[in-house]
Chain A
Amino acid sequence: MLRYLRLVGIQVRASLLLAMQYRVEFVVQGFAGLFWSAATFVPLFVVFGKRPSVAGWSFGQALLVLAFFLLLRSLLDGAVNPSLVQVVEHIRQGTLDFVLMKPADAQFLVSTAKFDPSALSGTFGAFGLFGWAFWKTHHAPSPGGVVIALLLLAAAVALLYSIWILVVSSAFYVVRVDNLSYLFTSIFDAARWPASVFRGILHFVFTFVIPLALMTTYPAEALLSRFTWSDAAASIGGALAFAAVARLTWRGALAKYTSASS
């Protein structure tokens, strides 16, 4: 266990060193990312310029959802997607062999292969949004609410990671999926608005199939003390089940792997 922690440290350090080589690029990238996010949040500001509440959410409450969205989005861009692109490349070129030969869990190695520290700017943006949201709602979260929200956030990260593993596993079968990560990112874009905005089939899909509601809306509701322990337990249970399925799928896919070269 300690060995794995050290391995993460080494991989993070390598990514940091790489990023620091291109300092200007690093700063510009961070800003450009934040700028784009801000531009895509404009509809929310326009909507709440016209109405005090939308689908049962006030402006401050919707900001909370947005903050969780930005937080998870920067995690996705900073820690998940860069590695994903690399695994797909490994599978296509057959260089996954080298990863498999290393004396550590292959899933662990490919998951931590690369980080993009410039996505951190999104995290700062998210904390800014949290502050703004609480200032707007005049509502300090209860300690219990914070605990539930943090648990749900952990579940959200587990879910994101599991979906990512499922996407990677599909690369073993169809190979050309280097833009599937972009597809997933764009689907995740739907998590920026409170889930009650969506109706009908989309609401069902975003709750149970691709549980976007669990990732941003539920933690926000927990901070607003609108979420109970039993709901949280069900959500976390669902996330754990998702993770188990992902791990099994990864092992099944890996068993099928026949190197591309030679």
Chain B
Amino acid sequence: MRRLLAIYPTLLRVGFASALAYRAELLVWMLTTNLPLINLALWSAVAREAPVHGYGTPEFVAYYLSTQVVRLVTSAWVVWEMTTDVRQGVMAMRLLRPVHPLLDYSAENLAAVPLRAMLALPIAVILVVLESAHLSHDPFTWACVPLLIAGGWAMTFLVMSIVGTLAFFVESAGSVFELWLGLYAVFSGYMVPLAFFPHWLRVVADVLPFRLLLGVQVQAMLGQLSHADIARAFALQALWIAGLFVAVRLLWNAGVRRYAAYGG
């Protein structure tokens, strides 16, 4: 553990430097996240005629800009990296290092978050300037938002690691993640506010983990969550993180045992 604390800051520094070196690429990657804005256009066209469920154009702007910001700062890319590393045999080299590969990946992915946040800042500024009336005014909620985002990031990273670890077993791990992404898009509130779903679908969304990755953060920012809701979200996030952590350890150990490096 002491060794870990000594190494991790260095790993983070290396990760940050590499994120900075590839900043143009990072910016292009972030620009590819535009579905919230496309959906905003659709809903604005609807709201021009009459509000939906109490959502007029300003509410939609607040919702989708918040979605965009949360999505930008909670994403990671470890699943793509792991599947390529396994396929091309780079994983063998990573396994030789005295640091657990997943730890290395986590530092790389985490180190890009500050830069991503900086690039997402203009959207956040537009959001606050345009729609501050539709954002939460509660200081406690705002203090919780970064923590909820951190929890969402951790869950995203762990799920990606699990799917990435599947690459040890099957070739189509990348496609498996696409299935996850499809469910995430619908049940996290990324595509449509969950409040618009029929009742039974909302119940399903409540049980599934996807809401904890994006929906609760957005709802908190918009002031739609009570303190009790936020506390419950934290508890659920902690449970999921613990479960996913155990799952990734088990799967990783099983996967490494059967891994035969290609190329090398």
Contact = CB atoms under 8 A, between A and B. Distances in A.
Interface of A: 22, 24-25, 28-29, 31-33, 35-36, 38-40, 42-44, 46-47, 50-51, 54-55, 176, 179-180, 182-183, 185-187, 189-190, 192-193, 196-199, 202
A32 B176 CA distance: 7
B138 interface: no
Given A42-B186, A176-B25, A189 B38 contact: yes
B183 interface: yes
A54 B227 CA distance: 37
Query: How would you classify the secondary structure of chain A's contact residues: helix, strand, loop or mixed?
Result: helix
A197 B34 contact: no
Contacts of A176: 24-25
A28 B31 contact: no
A179 B22 CA distance: 12
| Most chain B beta-carbon contacts within 10 A, residue among A32, A50, A189, A196 | A32
B254 interface: no
A186 B33 contact: yes
Contacts of B262: none
A54 B175 contact: no
Interface of B: 24-25, 28-29, 31-35, 38-39, 41-46, 49, 52, 170-172, 175-176, 178-179, 181-183, 185-186, 191-192, 196-197
Given A36-B178, A179-B29, A186-B32, A46 B49 contact: no
7 contacts: A25-B175, A35-B178, A35-B179, A36-B181, A42-B186, A43-B39, A190-B34
A197 B28 contact: no
Contact of A187 (B29, B34, B197): B34
- Closest 5 A/B residue pairs (Cβ): A39-B182, A32-B178, A32-B175, A186-B32, A28-B172
